[in-house]
Each structure stands twice: as C-alpha cells, then as structure tokens.
Structure 1
Amino acid sequence: MGGGGQPVGPGMWKAALAETPREAFNWRLALSVVCFGLMGAARGLDEGLIGTTVSQNSFVSEYGLTTKHLSKAELASRIGNITAMVQIGSVGGALIAFISCDKIGRLWATRQLCVVWIIGVIIYITSAGNYGQVLAGRFVMGLGIGQTTVVAPTYLAEVAPRSIRGLCICIFSGNVYLGIMLGYFANWGTSIHISSSSSMQWIDPTTMHIIFAGIILIMSFFALESPRWLAKIGKDEQAEINLCKLRKLPADHPYVRAELIDVHDQIRREEEATMGAGFFGPLKELFVLPRNRYAIILGLACQLLGQWSGANSLTIYAPQFFALLGTTGQSEALFATAIFGVVKLVSALICAFFLVDFIGRKRSLSTGIIIQLISSLYIAIYLTAVPTIASGQVSSTSAKHAGTGAIAMIYFSGVGWALGWNSIQYLIGAEIFPLRVRSLGTSLVMCFHFVNQYGNSKAVPLMLLYGQGLSPKGTFWFFAAVTFLGLIFVWFFLPETAGKSLEGMDELFSLPWHVIGRKGAKLTAGKGSVAEAMSAGDPEKVANMIEEERVENVEKNTAA
C-alpha cells in the first residue's frame, strides 16, 4: 500500500479489477484480443521455422550450406544472412507501421501488413535454389512481420480494460511461442516423413505463414477500430460507439465516461504541448519533453538488454545449441528443439494469465531474469570445465550428467525469457507512451528491437567459432554478464505499471527520473486519471467530475 492507503502495483491491479464491470469482459473484446494477439505468431513462426530450416538436409543441400562448398566463416555468414534477413526487413516494417497506424488506423494497418507478409512468403518458397530470391522473399516477409510488433501491442493496449491490459498484450507475446512451437514441430515432422531430397521438406512448414496471415486478415473485418485512435483523429462520436461496444456498456455508464474523459483530457494536454505537425513534430516531442524522453530511453534499454541476454539466440539457433551440448543426430536435435518450443509456450501463458498483472511487471521480469541468469551461468561454467563436449569427446560419467543438466538449463533459460524479457519488451513499449506519440514511440522501439535481433542473428554464429569468436564458453559468459546488467537496470529504472490507466502514465513519468523506477508506482497510486480515482477515491467525487465534463462538452458544442 502507498501513502494514504492507496493501492500500489499488484494492489492497484486488484482495485482496478474490482471496479471493472463484468460486462467489459465480453466476446467483442475477446475477438479483438484473439485477432491482434495472433499476430505474435508471425515472429514466432519465422524464428521457429528458420532456425530449424537451415538445419534441414533438403535446405542445406539446395543452398549449399556445407563446408564442402564454403569455409566455416563463409558458411556462418551465409546462414546468418538467411536467418537475419527478416530482421532487416522488419526494421523497415516497424517504421512503416508508425505511418500506417496513424494515417489509416489500426485495422487497415493490419490488413495491409497481412498482404505484404503473404507476398513475401510466396517469393521465398518459390526461390528454387536461388539464394538472392531467398533473401528478397525474407526481406519482404520482414516488412510485414515487423509491422505486427507495433500494430498489435498498440491496439491491444488501447482497447483492453486497464485491469487486464497486461494479459491482453501478453496474449501477443504468448502467440510468439505458439508460432515457435508450431514451426519447430512442423520441421521436425517433415524431417521424418518427407524425403531430404525434396524441397517440400522445408516448403510445407513455411506455408503456415500464409495460413496465419489469412486467418488474421479475415478476423480483422469483424474487429472494432481502436476508440483512442478514433478520438485522436477527431471522430469522437464513433470513438464513443466503439468503446461502448467493446465494454458492452451504455454511453452514460460511469466506467465508459471516465475512460472517455481521460482520453480527451490527454489529447487536449498533448495539443497544448505540440511541437509541430507531420513526422518531425512528434519526433521532437518524443526526445525533447522529459516525460517522453525517459519513456523512449526505457523502451530502447529494455530492447538492448533483452536481445543480448542470449535467450532469443537460443530460440533461433536451438538445434545448433543442443548439438553443441551433446545432442546427436538431426532428428534428435529437432525433437529437443520442438520440446523447447512447448516449454516456452507454456511459460508465456503462465506469465500472461497468472503473473504479469497479478504480481506486476517488475516482479515478473525480475523472476524471469534471475532464472535466465542462473541458466546462462551454469552453461558457461560447464563449457569452461568440459570444453571437449562439442566434439563429443566426453568419457566421464559425471561430465555426461552435467551435460544433461546443461541441456536442461537451455529449457530453463526459455522459461526465464518467456516470463521476463519477451513479455515485457512488447508490454512496456505499448503502455508507456502518450497517445500522440504512441505509434511513433512504439515504432522506434521495435526498429531498435529488430536492429539488435539482426546483429544478434549475424553475430552469434561467428561468436561460437573457436579461434575466430568468443567460443561457446565465452559466448555464454557474455550472455550471463548482460543478463546481470539487465537485473540491475530493472531494479533501478523500470516502473511498475500494473493497474495504471494509459492516461495515468503521464503522472508517473512526470516524476524526477531517479525515482520513477523505484518509487513511481507508490507516489502516483490513484492519481493521474479519473479512472484511477474511481478505483482508489471517492465515488461521489468522481461522479461530480464526470458531470462537470459532460456540462463542459455541451457548452463547447453549443458554442461551436
């Protein structure tokens, strides 16, 4: 509890949940969450498929990915190029998403990205041994996939009741692992049941991209546009209609009125602080205004520390890491990788449904980072003590048992990543920016996300090389060091946002920078928006505020 008995963090979430009408949890909201949540599978499918595709005998043969044709460095570079090309395209996709989100809305942005995504897949799977076409197809795929990481979290943050906003956005990050798991199992299945001499061994699983893009495209025509975006462009009447449908409540219900008041109040405050129209006005606001500057630095730092903590590398190159730790045979490595996908999916769902709102963002992330840190340290110590494991030259029984533990630690690292950075990297970016710069801020954060992921995808194969990189043990020591830095950063700088309204974030980020992370939630509990005052203050006072707002709007409309 904070000062004056106000709920803080998880307590604030419980208060928000208690004052959320049961009607707000309805099928329209569920449809919207499922539609936009499924977009997480776009990234997941690519990571799960490409990580195992480049190990498929059919793909290796078709594109000459062997040391018979290339040196070890050239081979690592080519695999890195193929793997990372979606990340390069995704940087452009994240920038496109800012324009499409703001100009044509969240729904039409979704529809166009699905079309781009499908076109890219078609180019990729029809490459027939053409290395250049593979890169081109994966780049175009990235233009579509990169947009999902901006459009979906932004929409989900704007339509979700604040009491379950973490859950709704984590449905997106959970679907990342649904895609990863399906990709892993699909490639494992085709490696067994389709001949390695046939290119269909890797093409068949890749067509899942088209299936998911088609489902999302169709569902988007049954979803509702974001009320906050409609209010931003001046369509106040339609914004009210859509919000009433999403909450399944009448327009005069206090819950709806409070939410609309907060939205309009934030829009008015942002208009007063505007630094110009077009791209450069919001860009200046993002980096000049102290409130926004802290938010963008926080978002960028989360991406940097999360991506280089190593867990995402384990996702993309899982078969290689399992082989490194002694798993023999392609089928065995692919099966171990598929189980890895299941572990991550279950962990992500646990985080979404039971942790991120209930115990708060900060505790959930810290728990995940600690699990990840322990896992990385164990593997680093093991590889240092038993450097011959990669060549299979381990005769000691104790060393073999320790190797089994190292393989288990890869799974634990996946649990930590799913509970921590993977959920938070989308959630925080969608929550912390005010409405006027939300699309731009989220877009820049996700651009940085894909730049780091690209660098990571390119660097890791080279980092693992003996004599030319850090070697496997050095790579895991590096991951452990970055993970430890992330834990310190979270404790000092990441604020608890569970239970706070999007509009109430302004109060939080207006505090001095050195107290936002450690004391921000406590100092701003129940402040910053009518919606939060409703759950933590005097209901009669809130009703008077709503009535004053209604009278003020009537007077303005009459004057107009």
Structure 2
Amino acid sequence: MGGFRAVEDRPTPKEVYNWRLYTEAAIIATGSMLFGYDSAFVGTTLARSSFKKSFGITKENSNSINSNITSAFQAGAFWGAVFCFFLTERLGRKWALQINVLTFVIGAILMTVATNQLSYIYTGRVLTGIACGAITATVPSYIAELSISSIRGILTGLFEVAYQVGSVVGFWINYGISQNISSDSATSWRIPMAFQLVPGGMLLIGGFFLHESPLWLLRKNKDEQAYKVLVDLRKLPIEHPYVQEDLQAMRNRLAEEAIISQRYGFGAWAHFRGALSEFSRKGMRNRVFLVFCMFTLNNLSGASAINYYSPTLFGSLGITDVALYTGIYGLVKAIASIIYYVFLIDLIGRRRPVIVSSFVCSVCLWIVGTYVKIGNPAAKLAAGEELSASTVAGGRAATGMIMIYSIFWSFGLNGIPWIVSAEIFPGALRVFSGTWAALVQWAIQFPVTKALPYIFASFGFGTWYFFAGWMLLATVWAYFLLPETKALTLDQMDLIFGYNNDSRYKIPHTSMTKRFIDEGLVNQAATDDKIGSVHEEKSAEDRVESFQEGRNN
C-alpha cells in the first residue's frame, strides 16, 4: 500500500489516515499557492497598456519601474524569512501563519485599490513578499509536524503541488482577461491583482480551523494541549502505543534541541546560537554551502525570469499571443512537476535528475538564443515586416524548446533543492536549515529579478545564452558535487559529508556516495569509524531526561 496510506515500519492503525489530517495539510499548503500565483500573473499584468497609463510608465522608465515592482516582492520575502523563526517560536506555527496571511491580504488590497499611486503598488508588493517569505520558511515544517511519518513526504509535497496550481491559475487568468477585456481598461489589471485575495482569503478562513503544532506545544510546556492535538489528528486515544511513540519521537527531538542549546542556556535565542555553532562545524559547513549552491543555480536557471518577464521573453521569439503561450508553458510545467513529485521522486532519486534536467535545459536555451540572434523576429515585427517562412518555422521550434525546457526543469532544480535541504540536516536543525533555504532563495531571486530588464536590454539574444551558461554550470556542478541523498539515514549523511570523522573531503563526493550505497558499507563504515552526530551523543532516554531537567530549572 502506498500514496496517502503508505505503510510504516511499525504497526499503523487505519485511524491515522483520516480526513482531518489530509484537510489540514491541504489548507496549510495553500500558502504556497500565494506566491505561485504571484510568479505567474505579475509579468503580463505590468505589460498591459492600462497599467502603464495608470501609473505613468513610459518606454524611458519602464525598465526601472517594472524591476522595482517585481523585485520589491523578493526583498520583502527575504525579510519575512529572516523574522519568521522568532515570530513562530513566540506565537506558534498556526498564529504566525495567520498573521502572515493577514499581511498578504492587506498588501493585495493596497495593490487592488491603487489608482495612480505607485507607492500603493510598491507597499503592497513588499507586504505580500514579507508574507510569502515567511510562508516558505513555515509551511513545509508545519505540515511535517502534524503528519504521520509514512505520508509526511507526500503531504509536504502538497506545498509544491499548490505552488504549481497557483502558477497555472495566474497564467490562465491573464489569458482569459486578454481575450475578454480590453487592455486599455483598468479592470484588466485590477482583476488579477484582486484575485490574490481568493487564495489568501481561503487560507485566512481555513487557518482558524487548524491545530497548533504538537511539537511547538510540547516545547512551550503545553503538554495537555499537545495530547489533545494528537488525539484529534490521529483519531486514537492518548494511551494508544502509536500516539505514545509519536510523543516519544517529539520528546527526543526536543532533547536534541536542548543538547544543541545547552552551551547557551535555554529558549529560542539559545537554540539559535547553538544552531549557528553547529552549522559552523566540519561536515555541516559543506551542507550549508550545498544549499546555497542549489538555490543560487535554481534562480539563475531562467525559470523565474520566464515567469516574471514572460511578455518580454516570449515577445523576443516573435510570439504575439503572449498570454496564451505563457498559459501553455505554465500548464506543461505544472503537469510535469506533479507527475515527478507524486510518482517519480522516490524512484529516480535526486542527483541524476538534476544532471539530466540541467543539461537538457541548457541545450534548449542555447537553441532559443541562437534563433533569436539569427531570426531577430521581434525587431522585424516591430518594424512592420512580415516574417519569412523559415523564421516562422524557427519560431515554432524555439517555442517547442521552451516547452521541453519547462518539462525537464520540473524534475531538476525546480523542487529538488527544497527536498535535499530538508533531508541532509538532523531534525534538531531543520527549523533553521529551512529558514536558510528560504533566505538564499529570496536573496538570490531579488537581484536576478531586479536586473533582468537591464540584462535583456543590454544582452538581447544573449539573455538566453546567459541562462544557458548557468544551466551548463549546474550540470557540471551536479555531476561532481551533488550527492545522491535518496533513502540515506542521518548516519550515512554524516559519513558522506565528513561529520565527526577524519574524511579529507570538504565537499560531498558523489563517487564515494555511490560506492558506499552499492556495496552496502555505509552502516559498517559508520560503526568502524565511530561516527557520531548530534542525535547520537546520548541515548533517547538520556536526551529526554536532560531536556526535562533543563525545562524544570
């Protein structure tokens, strides 16, 4: 049995697979729909003549204003991810999520009611960005802490599914508007702005029916409330062995956090300082750097550029019905992503998909750039010239390359960085590793989106070569430096990354990974080398006792 009723390596009562758990995971995952929609609707909306007229955007200032509007979201998202941890630790995951969703709704309202006040648009973009930055650092962990272990992966994967649904909706709303509402009408840009309130409102209302994270409740000494949450979500009495095992696992996790914090005291600040110290150790530093590389290459792949500036980039191919083709692009990307993350992720792993995906995406972008250079269709159409048959045929081929790119991108650096960054760190550090991943994502995406209009104006066809070059670099990087992490235990991760052992490697060695996995030597090597990690320093009982003593002092 698999899917939403996957069997664990322990007796699994049928009651734990229930509508309450699935519904709450789906509601929380709606958070990623907010920025999935944003990535799809902004580019086409800013290109509408009515929007330009309303806010005084001219040919001379369009690059500056468009890049400011687009990148204001990423700037806000960065700071949202920065402060999310402290807000969550103080108020809990449920109410931190609600505050961020309310912030998003306020930002969406400001953008919708703006008439000619560009300041409303900027402020709204920053507020929605702050909310989405915090959501990226909160939602996956929130779902994981409510879920049972056997379906934790697939429920957390709803985060990516919701993102893709949001992007498809954004692309096709713009297409529907372009077909039915004049681009000269202010309604054509207000509707997509206002539609942000739909997923935001759904999440805000649904959030009131969510349970708080039982792990957070235990951390705050609210044990009785944690017991009630587990009873409600598992549909089992608190005395049931399954629920008791869940509680013990959470107490072990808190004990690990206490071990990390013990040099600095107790509480969120001590945990934060202890985590920074742990991240600076040999065998952890390279994991931190690996996350940085993954998300940097993710943002330099060209995918976010196509999302945010689709009118400019598709227009360079000579495409006139931009809304239709961006809609098709988004739909293809969404279907490919859902197929991979639902059916294939645990079959074909992480490393090889990134290598193949990055190489094929690079080839596609080289071909597209070459077509734009030779055919120069956008300039010919702007001059009123008719395209030759060969240029038209080349345009179809280039468009096909974009669609192939979207398929292969979907099972490469699109979502694998989020998966790997969640797998390679011990549980006691995952709150911070998730925040670090979100910070890198938004910190790199900000300058890329800010600079892209200027890059395109300066490079022209070279913009496609620019991203193709980065994807080629990603291929080489993944081949030499990205280990396969599928199905590895934390002990095996420690061995590969050189944590608490004498490995001379400062980066994960893929040949080393493959040899250990193929020959089945990882566990033996871990025993022989007496590899330790944070979670091995004490027995489960000792960790719980240590943590309880700390809480009582």
Q: TM-score, normalised by structure 2?
A: 0.83
- Partner AA of 1:154 in structure 2: S
Question: Once structures 1 and 2 are overlaid, which stretch shifts more, 432-441 or 249-258?
Answer: 249-258
1:266 Cα offset (Å): 3.8
Given that 1:306 and 1:421 are in contact with CA atoms closer than 8 Å, whether structure 2 keeps it comes out as yes
Cα 1:503–1:246 change in 2 (3 A) is farther
Of residues 312, 330, 337 in structure 1, which corresponds to 2:326? 337
Distance 1:78 1:244 in 2: 52
User: What is the percent sequence identity of the aligned residues?
Assistant: 29
Residue 217 (1) aligns with residue 204 (2): yes
Offset at residue 262 of structure 1 (A) = 4.1
Q: Distance in 1 between matches of 2:378 and 2:452?
A: 19
**1:76-475 → structure 2 map (5 Å cutoff):** 76-236=63-223, 238-239=225-226, 241-243=228-230, 245-249=232-236, 256-274=243-261, 275-276=263-264, 278=269, 281-282=273-274, 284-328=276-320, 332-387=321-376, 390-392=379-381, 395-465=387-457, 469-472=458-461, 474-475=462-463
Distance 1:363 1:43, change over 3 A: same
Counterpart contact for 1:114–1:216, Cα < 8 Å? yes
Q: 1:38 aligns with which of 30, 50, 58?
A: 30
| Partner Cα distance (1:34, 1:398) in 2 | 48
- Amino acid paired to 1:179: G
How has the CA–CA distance of structure 1 residues 313 and 57 changed in structure 2, closer, same or farther, with 3 Å as cutoff?
same
Residues 426, 376 of structure 1: alpha-carbon distance in 2 compared, 3 angstrom cutoff: same
Q: Deviations over 1:34-54 (max 9, x none)?
A: 012111111111111111111
Q: Give matches, 1:69-80, under 5 Å.
A: 70=60, 74-80=61-67
**Which of 489, 492, 495 is the aligned partner of 2:477?**
489
- Which secondary structure state, in structure 1, belongs to the residue aligned with residue 348 of structure 2? coil
Seen in structure 2, the aligned counterparts of structure 1 residues 340 and 17 have a Cα distance that, compared at 3 Å, is farther
Seen in structure 2, the aligned counterparts of structure 1 residues 255 and 380 have a Cα distance that, compared at 3 Å, is farther
Rounded to whole Å, the distance in 2 between the matches of 1:108 and 1:204 is: 29
Q: Which runs of 5+ in 1 are unaligned?
A: 1-9, 529-545
Give, in angstroms, the shift of residue 211 of structure 1.
Answer: 1.5
What is the aligned counterpart of 2:465 among 456, 477, 492?
Answer: 477
Secondary structure (helix, strand or coil) at the match of 1:372 reads: helix
Contact 2:76-2:129 at 8 Å conserved across structures: yes
User: Which TM-score applies when normalising by structure 1?
Assistant: 0.82
Contact 2:32 2:159 in 1 (8 A): yes
Give the superposition deviation at 1:222: 2.4
Which stretch shows the higher mean deviation, 421-430 or 315-324? 421-430
Distance change in 2, residues 1:133/1:162 (3 Å): same
Q: Is the 8 A contact 1:491 1:518 kept in 2?
A: no
Higher relative contact order, chain-length normalized (CA < 8 Å, sep 6+): 1
Contact 1:370/1:416 (8 A) holds in 2 = no
The answer as to 2:42 corresponding to 1:50 is yes
Equivalent position amino acid for 1:105 in 2: G
| Partner of residue 538, structure 1 | none
Alpha-carbon shift at residue 147 of structure 1 (Å)? 1.1
CA contact (8 A) 1:166 1:427 kept: no
Give deviations 1:357-395, integer Å, cap 9, x for gaps.
333233444443344223222213323443455434675
| CA apart distance, 1:418 | 2.3
What is the CA RMSD across the aligned residues, in angstroms? 3.4
Q: 1:357 to 1:253 in 2, by over 3 A?
A: farther
Give the AA of the match of 2:277: E
Contact 1:494 1:518 in 2 (8 A): no
What is the one-letter code of the residue matched to 1:96?
F
Deviates more, 1:29-38 or 1:229-238: 229-238
Work out whether residues 62 and 199 of structure 1, in 8 Å CA contact, stay in contact via their aligned partners in 2: yes
Write the letter of the residue equivalent to 1:355: L
One-letter amino acid of the structure 1 residue matched with residue 340 of structure 2 = C
Aligned AA (2:474): G
CA distance, structure 2, for counterparts of residue 515 and residue 86 of structure 1? 34
The alignment partner of 1:195 has SS state of: coil
**Separation in 1 of the partners of 2:91 and 2:485?**
29
**Distance in structure 2 (CA, Å) of the matches to 1:491 and 1:253:** 47
Q: CA–CA distance in 1 between the matches of 2:115 and 2:349?
A: 49
Aligned partners of 2:511, 2:237: CA distance in 1, in Å?
A: 39
Q: Write the distance in 1 (CA, Å) between the matches of 2:148 and 2:479.
A: 27
Could you say what secondary structure the match of 1:357 adopts?
Answer: helix
